Structure 1
Amino acid sequence: MKYYLVAGEASGDLHGANLMKALKLEDNEAVFRYFGGDKMQAEGGELVKHYVDMAFMGFTEVLLNLRTIFKNLKKCKEDVLHWQPDVLILIDFPGFNLKIAEFAKANNIKVCYYISPKVWAWNQKRVLKIKRVVDRMFCILPFEVDFYKEWGMDVDYVGNPLLDEQAKFSPDAGFLEKNQLSHQKIIALLPGSRKQEIERLLPVMLSITGNFPDYQFAIAAAPTFDENYYHQFTGNKKVSLLFDNTYNLLYHAHAAIVASGTATLETALFKVPQVVVYRGGAISITIARMLVKIKFISLVNLIVNKKIVTELIQEDCNTQKVNDELQFIISGEGRNAMLKNYDDLLKLMGKPGASEKTARLIFSYFKSHKSKDH
């Protein structure tokens, strides 16, 4: 079958690549075309557009880049229509992907969605649109099944693909030496992969390094930037820079300061106590506070539906508070409580195998449709 995938950021590229790998095992005639990144490209098929040109976060940033976004939408629609896939697989990235879903549905192309848009967070009526334009929804967060059921929509919970990633991971024995790290305990800094995130969060993260002389700090650097880009923030600070090596860093880390997003869950799966931070543009945050209907922003807290990790958002994301929270989780009761709560999270998450389960369901469901069409 012909599969067209659309992923618009680094995490989507990772999950898309794993799904492609699993689909090739299910379907020996699988052919791929996609908007994605390097990891998907390594699985074969045709890369049409790289996610680096697509990822904008926050209301203001989206407005400032509307022309690029519309150009990307137009290109994607034209390419999907021209290629006529048997199934379109949309991965997260809802602002863009729901528009593509609507277009595909109007042109009789089967649509499945892997990793649900966070419709439970704000503007829940978007579920009605999803019901209309998506043929199958594959969810990776356990509470989403009940949420969709309340809106009269059956979805598949396939487990979380991060569990697959962690299961595949094997630590690099020479990691410390290769990266010139000492045997001091490591505090990992995960400032995100987008330019806006890094520029807002990394200076705050770095502002506390001098207060922890007994620890060494290491940044999980995004492969889309180079060393010079990060050096403008680190200056003369003694901080290591590790590109594309986040799991080894988390495996060795004693604690972490993490940008809100998928990385908070990855950090928890490695059982690393963390402080979650987030800063958006002032206008974006004001709008978000009016619209967003959830108690937490980190996936860790959302899944367990209670506060496990501290979230320092906007004005709370400052040197003093980050310093105090990090102090609280590097030893003693704060650390022990967080590690104990991580056990509850892991129970709810289930077992690895999300990519394989999703591939199996996509192939079985859409294969039957293909045979009806011919």
Structure 2
Amino acid sequence: MSDSLFKRKGALKVAMVVGEASGDVLGAHLMDALQARHGDIEFAGIGGPRMEARGFHSVVPQEKLAVRGYAEVLRCLPELLRIRRDLRERLKAAKPDVFIGVDAPDFNLALEAALKKSGIATVHYVSPSVWAWRLERIYKIGRAVNRVLCLFPMEPALYDKAGVKADFVGHPLASEIPMVPDQLAMREQLGLPRQAPVFTLMPGSRKSELEFMAPLYIEAARILLRDYPDATFLVPLATRATMDLFDRLLTRHKAWDLPLRKLFGHAQMAMIASDVVLVTSGTATLEVALTKRPMVISYKLSWLTYQLVKRKIKLPYVGLPNILCGRFVVPELLQKEATAEKLAAEVKRLYVDQDARVEMVQAFTDLHQSLLADTASLAASAVLQEAGCRTA
């Protein structure tokens, strides 16, 4: 790593750390909005490919932070701690005008606390899911950051009660995705048949998720193919590393004969074109909801991680669409329930049950309306205020 994080004298120095693919999207949108409001900005820290394409200087690959679950994190913990320690010292020396931790609270909050203590303004972009589990984290968050930017409308009130500055900025995907996506136009763009079944498989953006979920989804596709021999299965993958891993899993499970069409990125296109999406629980589930596509949510963790997590979950559901709607809109098949046979059966049910599809799409439309705001602009204003800029 080079000695200096920031090169240009006089530029506004904005440091950011992004933990995974969804944060890379948020970070890229925020960079655009900040540059539109304040022309001379330099960005550095840890970012993904979208951010790097906009000139972000990432000191290590963003994928290094994309590790899920307690058991899995333990294996990578020494390297993660080293990365955070080295970055903390470099940031304290560089003294950026503001630091933005984009999601990744397990990595970012401790980093933010150290930077705030050293006099650097800190913003956490995307509130951790305090409304779902471990509400007491709000006080730790308040000690670590000057401001929290919230994507969901019910979150700021929770922070207000704890005396923490927080703003609802909306969800960027709500503005990006049309209220009524054009499925037929997207199929034409992707060269897909207008009438034949199209199912999208989204096993996850992290390599550890693919190891758990992709074999299940591959086998579910086999089962669905028996009933729908003319079906196409789209598999959008976020990075070259996850695409290579998925190829290895196809070889391991002797599945190259399946009509799978891999896409490098283009997840939204795949969602819009599909009849039903089979998706691993996470941010992608909200994206599917905003594209108004019926979906089945699934997730599997290692036994140890699941035992630790399940005691802390306050809500009866884990999928974001269900949490935000406050009810089971989307079927969830988790842990032992996540079998290829059950996944295929739920996908088939949603494909044939028109009433269930209509009900789900209406719930997703209502959800979409509730999340609309000029997210990047609102977030940029808050960040510039914390950085002490008059242009905010």
Tell whether the structures are fold-level matches, with TM greater than 0.5: yes
> Gaps (5+ residues) in structure 2?
1-11, 251-255
Choose 179-188 or 38-47, whichever is displaced more.
179-188
For residue 21 of structure 1, what is the aligned residue in structure 2? 32
d(CA) in 2 for partners of 1:106, 1:197: 35
Say whether residues 1:6 and 2:17 are aligned partners.
yes
- 2:181 and 2:292 in contact (8 A); partners too: no
- 1:187 and 1:253 in contact (8 A); partners too: yes
Deviation at 1:102, TM superposition (A): 1.0
- 1:169 and 1:247 in contact (8 A); partners too: no
- 2:205 and 2:238 in contact (8 A); partners too: yes
- What is the TM-score normalised by the length of structure 1? 0.92
d(CA) in 2 for partners of 1:179, 1:343: 25
Q: Name the Cα RMSD after superposition.
A: 2.5
Matches within 5 A, 1:93-108: 93-108=104-119
For residue 375 of structure 2, what is the aligned residue in structure 1? 354
d(CA) in 2 for partners of 1:185, 1:319: 18
For residue 118 of structure 1, what is the aligned residue in structure 2? 129
For residue 198 of structure 1, what is the aligned residue in structure 2? 210
Say whether residues 1:78 and 2:89 are aligned partners.
yes
d(CA) in 1 for partners of 2:160, 2:381: 22
For residue 327 of structure 1, what is the aligned residue in structure 2? 348
- 1:160 and 1:354 in contact (8 A); partners too: yes
Which secondary structure state, in structure 1, belongs to the residue aligned with residue 241 of structure 2? coil
> Gaps (5+ residues) in structure 1?
none
* Correspondence for 2:248 among 224, 232, 236: 232
- 2:24 and 2:51 in contact (8 A); partners too: yes
Aligned residue identity for 1:190:
M
- What is the TM-score normalised by the length of structure 2? 0.88
- 1:171 and 1:248 in contact (8 A); partners too: no
Choose 288-297 or 103-112, whichever is displaced more.
288-297
Residues 228 and 54 (structure 1), Cα distance of their counterparts in 2 relative to 1, 3 Å cut: closer
Say whether residues 1:242 and 2:263 are aligned partners.
yes
For residue 223 of structure 1, what is the aligned residue in structure 2? 239
- 2:21 and 2:238 in contact (8 A); partners too: no
For residue 301 of structure 2, what is the aligned residue in structure 1? 280
Aligned residue identity for 1:217:
F
d(CA) in 2 for partners of 1:169, 1:308: 19
d(CA) in 2 for partners of 1:348, 1:114: 19
Aligned residue identity for 2:320:
L
* Correspondence for 1:343 among 359, 365, 380: 365
Say whether residues 1:208 and 2:229 are aligned partners.
no
Which secondary structure state, in structure 2, belongs to the residue aligned with residue 188 of structure 1? strand
Identity of aligned residues (%): 29
- 1:9 and 1:51 in contact (8 A); partners too: yes
Which secondary structure state, in structure 1, belongs to the residue aligned with residue 14 of structure 2? strand
Aligned residue identity for 2:362:
K
1:40-90: per-residue Cα shift (whole Å, max 9, x none)? 111114221221122110000011111111111112101211211011111
Say whether residues 1:315 and 2:333 are aligned partners.
no
d(CA) in 1 for partners of 2:112, 2:316: 29
